[in-house]
Amino acid sequence: MITQVGYEIDSEGNVGNKTTRVEDLQLRFILLMTLISSTIEDSEHSERLSKQAVKVCHKESGIPMSELISLIKRMTKEVKEITDYFEKNSEEMQGFFR
């Protein structure tokens, strides 16, 4: 008997004949929030879309609102740390080339 290894994933994220979704909901949520904040220049519109994204993600995924808000806070902190790191290194590199 030959055992088949691996599964085919269709365009809906279904594996084989099962209805199991293959997705990382938190990653998709982070990407959505990043896209909203980086592409929408109007802060009021961006805030409204962000709130709507949190509500929809909570409703569709069942992830608690508190977890989504915590995820946004962690993501914001990490982005700030990365930005600060690059700004610091950029200043050091500019001083090196002078």
Interval 36-93: pLDDT, tens: 888 888 889 988 998 998 998 888 888 888 988 888 888 888 888 988 888 888 877 7
Q: Higher-confidence residue: 72 or 97?
A: 72
22: pLDDT strictly greater than 50: no
pLDDT at 97: 67
Return the bridge partners of 15, or none.
9
Average the pLDDT over 7-17 and give the result: 56
CA distances to 2, 8, 10 from 18, in Å? 20, 10, 11
- pLDDT confidence band for 4 (50 / 70 / 90): very low
CA distance 60 to 21: 13
pLDDT at 1 over 60: no
The residue with greater pLDDT, 88 or 22, is: 88
Instruction: Report pLDDT for 33.
Output: 86
